[in-house]
Structure 1
Amino acid sequence: MKRHSAQHAAQKAAAAPAPDTLTPADRYQELFTAVQGARVFPDSKTFVDCAPLQEPAEILAAYRAQCKAAGFDLQAFVGQHFAAQLPEPSDYVSVPGQPLCAHIDDLWPVLTRHPLEHPPRGSSLQVPHAYVVPGGRFGEMYYWDSYFTMLGLAASERAELLHDMVVNFAHLIDTYGHVPNGTRTYYLGRSQPPLFAFMVELAQKLEGIHALDFLPQLRQEHAWWMRGSEGLAPGNASRRVVCLPDGRLLNRHWDERDAPREEAWLEDVTTARESGRDPAQVYRHLRAAAESGWDFSTRWLAEDRPRDTRDSLVSICTTDIVPVDLNAFLYKLETTISAMAEQAGDSSASREFAQHAQARKSAVIARMWDATQGAFFDHDWRLDLRRSCLTAASVAPLFAGLAEPSQADALAKTIERRLLAPGGLSTTECTSDQQWDQPNGWASLQWIAMSGFDAYGHENLARTIAHRWLATVAAVYEREGKLVEKYALRQVEHEVTTGGGGGEYPLQDGFGWTNGVTRALLHAHPQHTAHECVAHSAHPMHR
């Protein structure tokens, strides 16, 4: 197998011309606002993913020349100048009678994209190698989704594709200084949960990659998350860094822009209008929540609002919150850099990052661990208060190796009592219309919990979560012949398992990280009855 080199990717990035980072809103200005405001497309993401049929500057000039004319038809103008890149059914149709494991293995080629397929002058960010997309409306590579997809690629013995994706992420760091939320220009203002260290660790277990090659990119990613930390006074925040009253540093989510998300422009404008707050502040909070990957959840809403309005996003306050999972992932990044630096012979850097990790661990435990409840909670740095809603993010310190064994023991009891459902691990204790709340369950959170509890010796709880989740996925696959983005977890025995609901868009089929986690669990649990599950109906796959 060929060796995948981060240095080679860095050399290619350095030799390439400067990337075009203009977003659709930058390019099309008042045309963009008109299209999104008039909802020319039912899904706000459609226009920002369109392929322009001529040079963008020419399209904007044509719009300005025509838009005030009597009878101007905006929808017709867009149809004349743009080609919508809507997901189309591929030639793949799920096979009735096909086992779940074989179905997932057959989906990898369907969900794989190649750089040369990108339409020119659009919003796609170029990467050097093939990659796997989630599916449906998500036709680009996403940051944290990809780690969970890679787990399945490893189980399916698709090591080369997994390695290609790791090098793609290294390329993104070399080119843009960080990993964007997804490979679109309109995602460049933010990242997603930083799992690159976990990706490198996973890839190192397979042939063809050397983890030390990626040390420069790991350090660059850490530097990006810590921008603004130098000289930051206690009780203040800058970008993604919060300085606690005692001077220790933790991180929050952020976005470099304070305008509506381009892929959800009308939704964000509506939320800001209904909130009665400064629109720029609301937009920043919404964008920061998108960086968290939990878009959206009551986790990011003010806790002093009346309960009957908590489903609304008008009280969103994401940048006020220090999330436990983000800081656990950054702890993993710091301990990984420390270990790699020691291996590379740089003892000074190794000590520096070990000290960063220890300071972060101490701050997380001091601010986020509730010994009475036996769980980790997010922290509101502005109010200097621990948040009250228990979420599945509480398990991230176990996944990252940050928690003490006694905390893992207490957390296992808490999770089993308060978040474990017959269908798997609940996302939060709060039920709402937001997709990252009850009743939905997500593959990523199941894996984080299973891996975390297993690492701390709670194999029975890890196995219970795994078996319940496999049963959930298998039930929908058996009935509908597909895997989906999220699932509505059964809260009592004998309820019918269904795909999840809520959120800003319809339930998506595919689906990258569900495939990945499910495939990895099928490999780890060869006796589970999900292996015997077969599709009862055919389902056309949307690319």
Structure 2
Amino acid sequence: MPGCAHADPLTPADRYQELFVAVQTGGIFSDSKTFVDAMPRQQPAAILAAYRARSAEPGFDLAAFVHAHFVLPAVPDSCYKSDPKQPLRDHIDALWTVLTRHPAEHPPQGSLLPLPHAYVVPGGRFGELYYWDSYFTMLGLTASGQADLLHCMADNFSYLLDTYGVIPNGTRTYYLSRSQPPVFALMVELFEDHGVRPELAYLPHLRKEYAFWMRGAGHLAPGQACRRVVRLADGSLLNRYWDERDTPREEAFVEDTRTAAASPRSAPEVYRDLRAAAESGWDFSSRWLEPGGGLESIRTTAILPVDLNCLLFKLESKLAELAGVAGDADAPAFRQRAHARRQAIERLMWQEDEGAWFDFDWQQHRLRTNLTAAAAMPLYVEAASATQAARLAGTFAARLLEPGGIATTERVSGEQWDQPNGWAPLQWLAIGGFARYGHQALAHEIAHRWLATVASLYRREYKLVEKYALHPAEEGAVGGGGGEYPLQDGFGWTNGVVRRLLRLHPTHAACHCRAGVRA
């Protein structure tokens, strides 16, 4: 597309080699993401050559060298504040401009992947476009009347599929080895519903996303796996999360090397599983760990996630529908694949005794026992029966419904995708899923509790954050904890989900809440 510069083909680790390792292990920055997002002040090859020539000199100052040769990213601690007289809804509407980035701001030779159109970032340390975050962000754009920005986001995702054959985790070179939960089919429906472009226009892009997730499937024998595809002993074809690399994540280099050092498994195996969990978006959670184990026990690639496979059921169903409209000969094949996947999900992942879906460990041939909010995804993509939806409603109400919304899991692990944290995307999936199956009271209750949580923190601290603790403190809601980095303000998907819910629940007290004003 015109005006879109070429990306650097190498990641920072590839580009800067021993300089990269020295910086990431040298304690110069508290956040491993800082250096990989930095911009070189001259040609990268010249910087590496200068480092090699000078690093052995007596008194060499690595920190000074880095500051002299790179422009470091400016990450705000908390700058997402507008007029304190604004109610929450208007505050969110004002944030879209703050969180929007433009192609003209994409400098060359860094890790940032150029895009042809404006886009919305999550905020804080996350200053690039993220894949599955953006679906939930775009829900809010529709509620705010941001049609032009929604159109730009749609064209950017099409561009990524056309250029790279994948929508990467985020628009950085170090993210190109993995994707995120494949929600593009959900985006396509949103685009059509809001007049961006007819769904049929995206058929080529949906095919490209499917090809990425199914690469290697054609030659798998029962019991074999290749990249993101697993063929089980009974011939069922399901998917897992993966990453093309088995090295430490560049944006979490120190953290990953520390985790691998604590594991009895080989370091490349641990790195792959850490990267695969990052592809899941749930980085990190007891969902991927051995029961009772820490992060060093991670086994993401051994797990067939229920939500991933439901999203691929949705993708196959959408491909069947649109290919049929286009008169393509492969429409029946996509329909059959969607049917087979749905049967496999029900056969392997539905636990009748507990009234819920669980992830499946394909290496140990057993269900995982960790109930998570991912169990709402079969409802959201309409892969459940009415009976299953009713059973799940009872299970969620009894086991995952907290004072602040739907819990991520039932376990406290210290990881951010576990108790006590709640996340905006999981609230939306549960609300939407139960509403689609007629469980309006539960959907309403989740929405009510989540909006109250967000409004409580907004009144006291005048901001929205990435995640929230669902067990409110005495003084009101607090931001969530755990994970590899401090709580981030902004925040894209929280803004999006809350803005959409405010439109759907116009009488909720959150619609009128203001900073410092109690309900």
Structure-2-length-normalised TM-score:
0.97
> Which residue does the alignment assign to 2:324?
342
Alignment of 1:97-136 (within 5 A): 97-136=85-124
| Residue in 1 that maps onto 2:425 | 444
Counterparts of 1:141-156 in structure 2, within 5 Å, are 141-156=129-144
2:514 corresponds to 1:526: no
SS at match of 1:521: helix
Aligned mates of 2:130, 2:487 — CA distance in 1: 17
Equivalent in 429, 450, 474 of residue 469 of structure 1: 450
Aligned residue in 1 for 2:267: 279
Q: Which amino acid aligns with 1:34?
A: A
Contact 1:426 1:489 in 2 (8 A): yes
Alignment of 1:26-37 (within 5 A): 26-37=14-25
Q: Which residue of 2 aligns with 1:383?
A: 364
Task: Look up the match of 2:127.
Answer: 139
**Cα offset for 1:91?**
7.7
C-alpha separation in 1, matches of 2:401 and 2:504: 21
Q: Secondary structure at the match of 1:489?
A: strand
1-structure distance, mates of 2:71, 2:27: 16
Partner amino acid, structure 2, of 1:350:
A
How much has 1:39 moved relative to structure 2?
2.2
Q: Which residue of 2 aligns with 1:217?
A: 205
Structure 1: unaligned runs, 5 residues or longer: 1-8, 538-543
Partners of 1:67 and 1:318 in 2: CA distance: 39
1:52 aligns with 2:40: yes
Q: Which residue matches 2:53?
A: 65
**Alignment-derived partner of residue 256 in structure 2:** 268
8 A Cα contact 2:8 2:111, kept in partner: no
Q: Confirm whether residue 403 of structure 1 aligns to residue 384 of structure 2.
A: yes
Per-residue Cα deviation, 1:225-247 (whole angstroms, up to 9, x for no partner): 00010120111111000101111
State the Cα distance separating 1:454 from its structure 2 match: 0.5
- Letter of the aligned partner of 2:124 in structure 1? G
Aligned to 1:328: 310
Name the counterpart of 2:189: 201
Question: 1:498 is paired with a residue of what secondary structure?
Answer: strand
Classify the secondary structure of the residue corresponding to 1:382.
coil
Identity of aligned residues (%): 61
2:336 & 2:516 partners in 1: Cα distance? 55
* 2:297 is the counterpart of 1:315: yes
The separation in 2 between residues aligned to 1:507 and 1:471, in whole angstroms, is 19
Shift of 1:357: 0.4
Q: Conserved in 1, the CA contact under 8 Å of 2:286 and 2:418?
A: yes
Question: Which of 60, 68, 78 pairs up with 1:80?
Answer: 68
What code does the residue aligned with 1:435 have?
A: Q
Amino acid at match of 1:47: F
SS of 2:295's partner is coil
Aligned partner letter, 1:523: R
Distance 1:248 1:399 in 2: 23
- Distance (whole Å) between structure 2 residues aligned to residue 293 and residue 90 of structure 1: 23
Alignment deviations for residues 149-196 of structure 1 (CA, whole Å, 9 cap, x no partner) = 000000001011011101101110111111000000000000000001
Mapped partners of 1:103, 1:78: distance in 2? 38
Whether the aligned pair in 2 keeps the contact of 1:46 and 1:86 (CA below 8 Å) is no
Residues 480 and 90 (structure 1 numbering): CA distance in 2 closer, same or farther, change over 3 Å? closer
SS at match of 1:497: strand
Using the TM superposition, give the Cα deviation of residue 431 of structure 1 relative to its aligned residue in structure 2, in angstroms. Answer: 1.1
Q: CA deviation at 1:92?
A: 6.0
Secondary structure of the residue aligned to 1:222 is helix
Which one has more relative contact order, counting CA pairs under 8 Å at least 6 apart? 1
Shift of 1:89: 7.1
Offset at residue 208 of structure 1 (A)? 3.5
Aligned length: 517
- TM-superposed deviation, 1:491: 6.8
- Secondary structure in 1 matching 2:471: coil
Which of 494, 498, 506 pairs up with 1:514? 494
1:93 is paired with a residue whose SS is coil
Rounded Cα–Cα distance in structure 2 between residues aligned with 1:232 and 1:497 = 49
> How big is each residue's C-alpha offset from its partner over 1:110-132, in whole Å with a ceiling of 9 and x where there is no partner?
00000110122100011110000
* Aligned mates of 1:93, 1:395 — CA distance in 2: 33
Offset of residue 17 of structure 1: 8.2
Establish whether residue 428 from structure 1 lines up as the match of residue 409 from structure 2: yes
Distance 2:290 2:471 in 1: 28
| TM-score, scaled to structure 1 | 0.93
Q: What does residue range 227-266 of structure 1 map to in structure 2 within 5 Å? A: 227-266=215-254
How much does 1:96 deviate? 2.1
Q: Aligned runs of 1:1-16 on 2, under 5 Å?
A: none
Q: Check if 1:374 corresponds to 2:374.
A: no
What is the root-mean-square deviation in Å for CA atoms of aligned residues? 1.5
- Tell me if structure 2 keeps the 8 A contact 1:296–1:434: yes
Q: Match for residue 479 of structure 1?
A: 460
Equivalent position of 1:541 in the other structure: none
Q: Which runs of 5+ in 2 are unaligned?
A: none
